Amino acid sequence: MNRVLGVRRHPLKSAAAEHVAAAFVGKHGLDGDRTWTCLDADGTIGSAKQPRLWQTLLAVRAEFATDTGDVHITVPGREPAAAGSPEADDAVSAWLGRPVTLTRKPPTELKRHHWWPDEPGMIPDWARDKEPGGDDVVAARHDAEGGRFFDYGAIHLVTTGALERLSARHGSQVDPARFRPNLILDLPADPEPGQRIAIGADTVLEVAIPTPRCVIPSLAHGDAPADRALLKTLAAHRRVDVPAFGRATCFGFYAEVRAVGAVAVGDTVTVSG
């Protein structure tokens, strides 16, 4: 029987994942997921898609309190501090080496820095005019109704079948943390766009598109060290058609929420459609 193997949320965009046993999935995604971001002095928001500026943020922990909605930030070597407090801003700024502010409110012009990987095949068709190895400032997304700093879909998922095949091609086990999913599903393969995934008693998701990948999977994530060669493996074996966009190197998939409900590790998973 197919089941949920992991539930993860990211209360602070581009910070480390919070591993939880269960979470509520509302129409905008997991409660507390990607509700905060870092605002840099140049007005852009924080994203490890530009590792020169933000890769150390991946070592910062953020925890969402389900009873109050508060988020607490823990920088290595520091005591936890509430997101939105001067203490949290000071701790994250010191860790990054420049002044930043944690915020739930997007700036008027929402942008972020992006580094285009120089590994052949890692630039998607819709950005074919970009220079490999080049830095860029691009538009960022914000779900205003839900207050989320999402890149695309409300939920991001990976499957054990896809991870096993990628690991075999890469020659070593690939940690799912590199892809920053919300849910890890014990399925033999990724479902196709348009298919529905029923989880537990109530939750229903609908697959949207495969997830285009950037440099982030190759960076260090907790116990998973930096692995630049992973980009080569992804580009060689995971370049696919993204509906309505073109070809891109992808891993995992985005889904939209069709029926809300709780999800927990061990819940049954059924794919249909």
- At residue 92, does pLDDT exceed 90? yes
- Mean pLDDT, the chain, rounded, equals 96
Instruction: Report the pLDDT value the prediction gives residue 75, as an integer from 0 to 100.
Output: 98
Instruction: Report the pLDDT value the prediction gives residue 220, as an integer from 0 to 100.
Output: 96
Residue pair 3/186 in contact (Cβ under 8 Å)? The answer is yes
pLDDT digits (tens, 9 = 90+) for 27-78: 999 999 999 999 999 999 999 999 999 999 999 999 999 999 999 999 999 9
Please give the model's pTM, rounded to 2 decimal places: 0.96
Q: Hey, where are the domains in the chain?
A: 4-272
Instruction: Report the pLDDT value the prediction gives residue 223, as an integer from 0 to 100.
Output: 87
| Strand blocks (E) in the chain | 4-9, 18-20, 22-26, 29-30, 37-40, 61-64, 71-74, 81-82, 100-103, 111-115, 135-139, 155-159, 183-185, 196-199, 203-212, 239-242, 246-259, 261-264, 269-272
The domain 4-272 having CATH identifier 2.40.50.140: the answer here is no
Instruction: Report the pLDDT value the prediction gives residue 87, as an integer from 0 to 100.
Output: 98
Task: State the Cα–Cα distance between residues 147 and 32, nearest whole angstrom.
Answer: 10
What is the number of H-type helices and E-type strands within the chain? 4, 19
Instruction: Report the pLDDT value the prediction gives residue 264, as an integer from 0 to 100.
Output: 98
> What is the rounded average pLDDT of the residues 216-230?
95
Instruction: Report the pLDDT value the prediction gives residue 1, as an integer from 0 to 100.
Output: 86
pLDDT digits (tens, 9 = 90+) for 140-182: 999 989 999 999 989 999 999 999 999 999 999 999 999 999 9
